[in-house]
C-alpha cells in the first residue's frame, strides 16, 4: 500500500540501527524493489528482510537468497489445530469423532485457513453425527471464506494458466499428474494454439502451478515424478469450471448443461451419460474394465473428442470405428491388454499424441501409424512382446517425443532417426540386438540440436559374451548426442568402457545423469568435472568395490560437483567405501539416498563437510554400523539396516525415521530432534531401550507403528510403557501396520484417545472402558475438585468452631 511504503521510507531515512523488515503477502515485486533499491539508508544499516508470498517468482524478483517453502499440515498437526479451533476442551470425544476430524483435515488438504474455518463452524457441536454432517459438505460452495482465499490466487493467474489449473480437476483425487501427460493433453485441447513452441509453453504453465502451490510435487529417488492437486484445490477447480468439467455421476447432468470434459471410473457410468450430452472434447475412463460395446458407444456418441484417455481399463481390442474420431488429438491406451491397433488409426490425421506405454500383450504396430504426420508424441515403451513394427518414421517429422524405439532386422532402423530433427526427448531400447555401427552413425543424433533428453537402453536378455563388449561400445560411440543435452540415462550398458563422447568436454549442458546396470564398468568417469550437473544416480555397478578420486577428476574450478543437489546410489552389491572427495566438493548437495548397498560399513566421511545436506535416506544397508558427524543434516531415514547400532552427533537433526533396525541401541547428541517415527516390525513387543533412557532432546511428535501387543502396552497410564509415552513427546500417535490409528496421546491434555479397535481390545481383556476426555486435565477431574472444596469447607468450619470454643472458655 502507498501509505505503508511512505511510512517505511520515512523510518529508513532517519534510521541508523539494524532493522528486521517483514513484508507479508507480497503479490507484485516492482514497487517494493524500487523502494528497497533506491533507499541507501536501508542498504547502509545492514537491514534484513523476510518476505512472504504465494508466488516464488515474486520472491526471486525481489532478490531473495533463501527460500523456505511452507508445507501443508500433516494429519496429526491438522487434527490438533481442528481440535483447538473447535474448542473441544470441555467436551468428551467418544466413538469415532477423532476419525471424522482427521477426515475433515484431509479434505482440507492440510490448509490451516480451511481447517480453522471448519473448526469455527464445529464449535458447540459435540456429537459424531454433527461432525459427519459437516464432513459431507462441499467446503468450497459452503464456506465463502475458504473460496475467496483461493480465488485471490486464482485471479492472479494468466488466462492459459487458469485453463490448465481447471483442467487438472479432471484427474481423480490423489492422482499423480505427470508433467508430460498433462502438457500433452493441454496441447491437444488447444490451450496453446498459435504459440511458437507448444511444449515449452505448456511446461511453463505446469511449473507455474507448482511454484504457486496449486500443484504439490511428488518426490521419489530419481527426483520429481509428478504432482498432486490437493483435495481442497480440486474442489475449487471443479467449482470454478462450472458445467465444463464433470467428475460426478454423469446421470446427474442436467439437460441445460453442456459439459466439455468428463471423467468416469465406472464402466456402467458410460451408459448412464444422457443422450443430450454430445459435445464432449475430453473423456477419461480409468481403473475400470471396459467392454467392446462400451467402447463402441463412446466412439459413436462423441465424434468430436479431442482427448480420449483409456489407460488402466483392461480393454483388449480397439474397433475399426476408431477411425471416425477425426478430431482426436490425444489417445492413451497405456496399461491395457490390446494386442494391436486397427488400420483405421491412419484416418486420425489430427492425432498429435499416441501413448501405448506398458502394454504387455502388444505384438504389432500397423504401418498406418506412419501416416500420422501431425504426431508430436509417440510412446510404445514397456511392450516386451512387440516385435512386429511395420510403420516408418520418414513422414513423422513433427515428432517431439519418441519413446520405445528399438532397432530390428525386419523393423525400425537406427538410421531412420535422422529425419526427426525436432525431437526433444528420445528413448532407444534393445540396443543389445547388435545394431550395426553404420546405422548408428547414420542416425546423426549430434545434429538433433533440440534434443534435451536421451535414454540409451540395452535389454538384459540380449547381453552378448565378453567379446561383444567392444562392439557395443562402438555402437554407443556412434550414437553421439548433441552438446545441448540436459538429461542422459544409460541403462543396461555392457560395453567395457564408456564411449568417447561421455565426457565433460562434450556434455557441457548436462544437468541430470543416470547410470543404471553398467555391469562391466569397473571404474567411473570423472563426473565431478561436470559443472552443471544437478542430479546424479549411480545404480547397479555390481563389480565396483569402491569409489575413489577418479570420480572427482580435476575440475577446472577446483570444486567437484559444484551444482549437484541430489545424489542416488543403489544396488551396489560389492561397494565398501566412497572416498576421494575433499571438503569443498558438492557445496550444494541437499539430498542423498543410499539403497541396497549391503557391504557399506559407514556413510562416506566427506559428507561431514557438506554444509547444505538436509536429507539422508538409507535402505537395506546390512553392514552399516553407525551414522555420525553430519552437522547440517535435518532429516534422516534408515530402513531395514540390520546391523546399525548407533546414531551420534547430528547436531541439527530434526526428523528421524527408523524402520526395522533391531540392533539400534544408541541415539544421542541430537539436541534438536523434534519428530521421531519408529516402525518396529510386526513381531516386536518391546520399545527400544534407547528410547526408554532419559534423552537430551524434547520431542514434539512421536509416531510408533507396531504390533497390537506392543501398542496395548503403551495405550494407558497404567500400561507397561504408559509413563514413557506420557513423558516422551508433546503428541504421540500409535498406528498398526497398515496405517490405521490405534491410539494417541497429548501431553497438554494428559489424556489418551483410543480407537474403537483399541477400546474393544481393552474390553475383551476385562478392562474398564471410560469415555475418553480430550480436554485439559484442569477441566476434568470433577471429583478431585469437589473433594478439595469440601475439605476446605470442613477446615474453615472446624477452625471457626475452635475459635468460638476458645473464646467461650475464657
What's the pLDDT score for residue 783? 44
Greater confidence (810 vs 733) lies with 733
pLDDT at 768 over 70: no
**Which domain CATH number covers 183?**
1.10.10.10
pLDDT tens profile 695-730? 888 899 999 999 999 999 998 888 899 999 999 999
pLDDT tens profile 400-434? 999 999 998 788 899 999 999 999 999 999 987 55
Domain membership flag for residue 408 = no
Domain membership flag for residue 354 = yes
288 Cα distance to chain centroid:
25
DSSP 509: T
What's the pLDDT score for residue 187? 97
Least confident of 174-183, 453-462, 602-611: 453-462
pLDDT at 62 over 80: no
pLDDT at 335 over 80: yes
DSSP 341: -
User: Does one domain contain both 84 and 191?
Assistant: no
What's the pLDDT score for residue 287? 65
Q: For the residues 784-805, what does the mean pLDDT come to?
A: 58
Greater confidence (616 vs 132) lies with 616
pLDDT tens profile 473-490? 889 999 999 999 999 999
Greater confidence (42 vs 392) lies with 392
Instruction: Tell which of 319, 353, 377 closes a domain.
Output: 377
What's the pLDDT score for residue 73? 85
Q: Provide the pLDDT confidence category of residue 773 given band limits of 50, 70 and 90.
A: very low
What's the pLDDT score for residue 424? 96
User: Does one domain contain both 80 and 193?
Assistant: no
Domain membership flag for residue 373 = yes
User: Does one domain contain both 771 and 785?
Assistant: no
User: Does one domain contain both 113 and 217?
Assistant: no
Domain membership flag for residue 248 = no
pLDDT at 76 over 90: no
What's the pLDDT score for residue 765? 62
**Which domain CATH number covers 309?**
3.80.10.10
Note the pTM of the prediction, 2 decimals. 0.84
Q: Provide the pLDDT confidence category of residue 55 given band limits of 50, 70 and 90.
A: confident
Crossing angle of helices 159-167 and 179-189, rounded to 10°: 120
User: Does one domain contain both 313 and 356?
Assistant: yes
Helix (H, G, I), strand (E, B) or coil at 378: strand
Pair 97, 129: CB distance under 8 Å = no
Q: For the residues 67-93, what does the mean pLDDT come to?
A: 77
Q: Per-residue DSSP letters for 52-77?
A: --S-HHHHHHTT-S----PPPP-HHH
How large a percentage of the chain has pLDDT more than 70?
Answer: 87
Return mean pLDDT, the chain: 86
User: Does one domain contain both 259 and 219?
Assistant: no
Task: Give me Rg for the CA atoms of the chain.
Answer: 32
- Going by DSSP bridges, is the β-strand pair 741-746/699-706 parallel, antiparallel, or unpaired? unpaired
Q: For the residues 649-674, what does the mean pLDDT come to?
A: 94
What's the pLDDT score for residue 788? 55
pLDDT at 769 over 50: no
Domain membership flag for residue 22 = yes
Q: How far apart are CA 125 and CA 116, in angstroms?
A: 15
Q: For the residues 140-164, what does the mean pLDDT come to?
A: 91
User: Does one domain contain both 258 and 372?
Assistant: yes
Q: For the residues 769-798, what does the mean pLDDT come to?
A: 48
Q: For the residues 25-35, what does the mean pLDDT come to?
A: 69
Domain membership flag for residue 543 = no
**Which of 534-538, 688-692, 716-720, 754-758 has the largest mean confidence?**
534-538
Pair 694, 723: CB distance under 8 Å = no
What's the pLDDT score for residue 699? 93
Q: Provide the pLDDT confidence category of residue 164 given band limits of 50, 70 and 90.
A: very high
Domain membership flag for residue 434 = no
Q: How far apart are CA 108 and CA 72, in angstroms?
A: 10
Q: What are phi and psi of 679, to 5 degrees?
A: -110, 105
Q: How far apart are CA 801 and CA 792, in angstroms?
A: 14
User: Does one domain contain both 238 and 265?
Assistant: no
Instruction: Tell which of 377, 405, 423 closes a domain.
Output: 377
Q: For the residues 89-114, what does the mean pLDDT come to?
A: 77
pLDDT at 779 over 50: no
What's the pLDDT score for residue 772? 40
Domain membership flag for residue 703 = yes
Burial of 19 (0-12, 13-18, 19+ CB in 10 A): middle
Q: Is 254 left (phi over 0), alpha (psi -120 to 50) or beta?
A: beta
What's the pLDDT score for residue 92? 47
User: Does one domain contain both 258 and 360?
Assistant: yes
What's the pLDDT score for residue 781? 41
What's the pLDDT score for residue 777? 36
Structural domain range at position 211:
147-242
Closest by CA to 457, choosing from 412, 404, 390, is: 404
Instruction: Tell which of 87, 111, 137 closes a domain.
Output: 137
Greater confidence (621 vs 292) lies with 621
Q: How far apart are CA 774 and CA 80, in angstroms?
A: 11
Considering its fold, how many domains does the chain have in total?
A: 6
pLDDT at 363 over 50: yes
What's the pLDDT score for residue 427? 97
Q: For the residues 80-97, what does the mean pLDDT come to?
A: 71
Amino acid at each position: 500500500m502507498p501509505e505503508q511504503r511512505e511510512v517505511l521510507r520515512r523510518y529508513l531515512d532517519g534510521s541508523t540501527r539494524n532493522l528486521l523488515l517483514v513484508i507479508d503477502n507480497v503479490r507484485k515485486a516492482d514497487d517494493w524493489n524500487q523502494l528497497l533499491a533506491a533507499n541507501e539508508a536501508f542498504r547502509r544499516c545492514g537491514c534484513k528482510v523476510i518476505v512472504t508470498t504465494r508466488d516464488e517468482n515474486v520472491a526471486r524478483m525481489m532478490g531473495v537468497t533463501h527460500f523456505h517453502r511452507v508445507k501443508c499440515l500433516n494429519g496429526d498437526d491438522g487434527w490438533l489445530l481442528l481440535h483447538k479451533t473447535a474448542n473441544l476442551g470441555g467436551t468428551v470425544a467418544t466413538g469415532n469423532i477423532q476419525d471424522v476430524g482427521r477426515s475433515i483435515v484431509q479434505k482440507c488438504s492440510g490448509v490451516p485457513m480451511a481447517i480453522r474455518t471448519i473448526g469455527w463452524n464445529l464449535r458447540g457441536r459435540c456429537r459424531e453425527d454433527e461432525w459427519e454432517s459437516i464432513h459431507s459438505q462441499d467446503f468450497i460452495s459452503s464456506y465463502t471464506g475458504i473460496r475467496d482465499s483461493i480465488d485471490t490466487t486464482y485471479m492472479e493467474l494468466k488466462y492459459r494458466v487458469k485453463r490448465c489449473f481447471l483442467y487438472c480437476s479432471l484427474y481423480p483425487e490423489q492422482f499423480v499428474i505427470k508433467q508430460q501427460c498433462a502438457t500433452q493433453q493441454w496441447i491437444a485441447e488447444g490451450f496453446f494454439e498459435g504459440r511458437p513452441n507448444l511444449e515449452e509453453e505448456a511446461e511453463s504453465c505446469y511449473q507455474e502451478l507448482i511454484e504457486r502451490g496449486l500443484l504439490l510435487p511428488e518426490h521419489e529417488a530419481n527426483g520429481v515424478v509428478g504432482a498432486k492437486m490437493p483435495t481442497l484445490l480440486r474442489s475449487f477447480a471443479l467449482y470454478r469450471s462450472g458445467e465444463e468439467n464433470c467428475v460426478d455421476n454423469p446421470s446427474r447432468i442436467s439437460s441445460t448443461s453442456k459439459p466439455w470434459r468428463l471423467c468416469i471410473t465406472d464402466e456402467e457410468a458410460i451408459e448412464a451419460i444422457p443422450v443430450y450430452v454430445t459435445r464432449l472434447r475430453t473423456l477419461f475412463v480409468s481403473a475400470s474394465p471396459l467392454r467392446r460395446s462400451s467402447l463402441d458407444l463412446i466412439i459413436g456418441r462423441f465424434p468430436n473428442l479431442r482427448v480420449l484417455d483409456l489407460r488402466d481399463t483392461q480393454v483388449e481390442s480397439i474397433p475399426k470405428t476408431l477411425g471416425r474420431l477425426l478430431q482426436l488429438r490425444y489417445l492413451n491406451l497405456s496399461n491395457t491388454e490390446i494386442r494391436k491397433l486397427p488400420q483405421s488409426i491412419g484416418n486420425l490425421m489430427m492425432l498429435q499424441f499416441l501413448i501405448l506405454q506398458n502394454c504387455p500383450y502388444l505384438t504389432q504396430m500397423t504401418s498406418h501409424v506412419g501416416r500420422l504426420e501431425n504426431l508430436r508424441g509417440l510412446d510404445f515403451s514397456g511392450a516386451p512382446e512387440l516385435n512386429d513394427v511395420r510403420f516408418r518414421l520418414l513422414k513423422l517429422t513433427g515428432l517431439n517425443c519418441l519413446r520405445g524405439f528399438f532397432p530390428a532386422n525386419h523393423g525400425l532402423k537406427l538410421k531412420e532417426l535422422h529425419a526427426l530433427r525436432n525431437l526433444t526427448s528420445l528413448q532407444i531400447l534393445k540396443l543389445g540386438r547388435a545394431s550395426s555401427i553404420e546405422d548408428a552413425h547414420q542416425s546423426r543424433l549430434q545434429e538433433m540440436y533440440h534434443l534435451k533428453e536421451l535414454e540409451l537402453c540395452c535389454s538384459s536378455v540380449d547381453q552378448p559374451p565378453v567379446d561383444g563388449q567392444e562392439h557395443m561400445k562402438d555402437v554407443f560411440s556412434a550414437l553421439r548426442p548433441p552438446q545441448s543435452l540436459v538429461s542422459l540415462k544409460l541403462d543396461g550398458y555392457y560395453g567395457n568402457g564408456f564411449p568417447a563422447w561421455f565426457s565433460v568436454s562434450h556434455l557441457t549442458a548436462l544437468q541430470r545423469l543416470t547410470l543404471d546396470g553398467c555391469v562391466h564398468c569397473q571404474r567411473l568417469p570423472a563426473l565431478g568435472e561436470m559443472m552443471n550437473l544437478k542430479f546424479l544416480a549411480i545404480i547397479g555397478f555390481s563389480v565396483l568395490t569402491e569409489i575413489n578420486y577418479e570420480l572427482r577428476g580435476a575440475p577446472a574450478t577446483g570444486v567437484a560437483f559444484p551444482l549437484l543437489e541430489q545424489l542416488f546410489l543403489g544396488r551396489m552389491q560389492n561397494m565398501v567405501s566412497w572416498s576421494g572427495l575433499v571438503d569443498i566438493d558438492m557445496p550444494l548437495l541437499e539430498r542423498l539416498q543410499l539403497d541396497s548397498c549391503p557391504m557399506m560399513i559407514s556413510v562416506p566421511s566427506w559428507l561431514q563437510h557438506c554444509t547444505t545436506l538436509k536429507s539422508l535416506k538409507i535402505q537395506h544397508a546390512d553392514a552399516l554400523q553407525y551414522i555420525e558427524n553430519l552437522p547440517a543434516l535435518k532429516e534422516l531415514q534408515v530402513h531395514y539396516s540390520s546391523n546399525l547400532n548407533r546414531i551420534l552427533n547430528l547436531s541439527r537433526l530434526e526428523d528421524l525415521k527408523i524402520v526395522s533396525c533391531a540392533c539400534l541401541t544408541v541415539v544421542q547428541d541430537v539436541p534438536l530432534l523434534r519428530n521421531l517415527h519408529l516402525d518396529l516390525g510386526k513381531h516386536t513387543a518391546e520399545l527400544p531401550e534407547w528410547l526408554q533412557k532419559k534423552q537430551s532432546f524434547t520431542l514434539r511428535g512421536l509416531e510408533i507403528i507396531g504390533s497390537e501387543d506392543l501398542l496395548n502396552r503403551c495405550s494407558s497410564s497404567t500400561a507397561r510403557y504408559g509413563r514413557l509415552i506420557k513423558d516422551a513427546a508433546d503428541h504421540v500417535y500409535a498406528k498398526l501396520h497398515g496405517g490405521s490409528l490405534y491410539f494417541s496421546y497429548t501431553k497438554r491434555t494428559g489424556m489418551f484417545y483410543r480407537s474403537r479397535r483399541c477400546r474393544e481390545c481393552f474390553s475383551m481383556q476385562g478392562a474398564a472402558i471410560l469415555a475418553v476426555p480430550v480436554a485439559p486435565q484442569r477441566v476434568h477431574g470433577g471429583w478431585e475438585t469437589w473433594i478439595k472444596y469440601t475439605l476446605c469447607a470442613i477446615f474453615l468450619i472446624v477452625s471457626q468452631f475452635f475459635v468460638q470454643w476458645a473464646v467461650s472458655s475464657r
